[in-house]
Amino acid sequence: MPARPVSPWQGQGPVVAMVALGGAIGATGRYGASLLWPSQADGFPWTTFWVNVVGCAVIGVFMVVITEAWAAHRLVRPFFGTGVLGGFTTFSTYAVDIQKLVDEGHPGTGLAYLAATLFAALAAVWLAVSAARRALAWSRRRQR
């Protein structure tokens, strides 16, 4: 009996395509943010800071929604979580910004940026998850 051809919509192909598409969208959003709010070369990199904090908050809400409230299609998480939010947030730029600040004689600003981003990103995820869970519980109570 001849083997049945495998559909291109099976396997990892669609997952990779969705991550790539989402990544392009997220990176475009981050680039747009850098054009709207450019940071000073020797100052605190506020744009990257807020992009990362906002991205962390959105991932917190997103993960609650797709794990506790909605049975999402198998490509939603790769597209939005890994792709869009992975492309939007930029922890590699965060690391480069810290190194650049230190190399250019601003180690205090680099250290403040390192600590502030770490604290704010973790706090954003925690607050977003907590708020999303509370909102979900409230919504479920109202539906009864």
Q: Which residues of the chain have pLDDT under 50?
A: none
**In this structure, are residues 68 and 133 in contact, taking their beta carbons and an 8 Å threshold?**
yes
Sign of torsion over alpha carbons 55, 16, 97, 28: negative
Closest CA relative to residue 86, chosen from 35, 22, 132: 22
pLDDT for res 134:
97
